[in-house]
Structure 1
């Protein structure tokens, strides 16, 4: 297909496609004449992934390039490729300025990971995000919320199994990464909405007339 058709099929404007090619995010098309290039389904799949990383994941071009480098690295385990994408999705956490509280929260998170037997590195960004959340809870007078971590972990494991079972339906690595990005960002929105609905039901059971 020519670049115009690729644009129509993906919804990505032609100038944007050319920009992605210049930045090395998208491989150039195969030249069919000095001024014409042809594109195929691999370009369409890569464009879909780029847009998912950009529009859904909110990644910058430099971060997208790093994820695509992981996707294209021969023999790289799928687990590492998915991690390269997922680890860049979390929002940057501000410095809370409380070294003691942060250290205690990190210890709590590491104890949780060890207790659950999770195969997660100690510097995983999600572990840092959880530690920051615990520090914020403590500052607001809700340090006891940490007592619920295992209950939340039980639910998280069940959701993670469902997520990865869905991801596993895909074949191409790019499709896997796209699914992880969309599932992480929009899946969190789905889960949060379900949680709020469950809150309403539980509140009605406990406090309703």
Structure 2
């Protein structure tokens, strides 16, 4: 088994945080994004999208989506479930995880226009576009702010895949680009700061 990752990438961090929280030791390979290794013919044979992460299983099957990698690992290691423990809790966790996935997608579109650091994704970033996109980001932040209530984690008292999905886009914006993200949402801001103290969140 081998996990291809990019340590500072938002989607790879979703898997990396999950593995750390789950206590799973998986061999890793750090892709050299700066020199375009993720676009090399060798890697494209593994993941045609040219993105991290990708997990190659012991049988040689490549799983090329962060959510699918986590679900695969949960099925292989059902102890200490992080996807919920009964039908109701699993439904809640998955609902919040999907909100988190949408937040990542919208947040990345915003970053492409806000930072100018992704010319391959957005060749003509525009502040007007970024401002409009952040309105769509805020819609989801508002929902998550309500959903978390006064809980320690997004889905309740324990960390789940919902946290591991949403946290990295906050971290990417705040630490990689020094941009405010969710700081006007009191509960989410407190959640982020608590989760950032966890060893799994080391950047």
TM-score exceeds 0.5 = no
Rg (Cα) greater in structure: 1
Instruction: Looking at secondary structure, tell me which structure has more helix per residue.
Output: 1
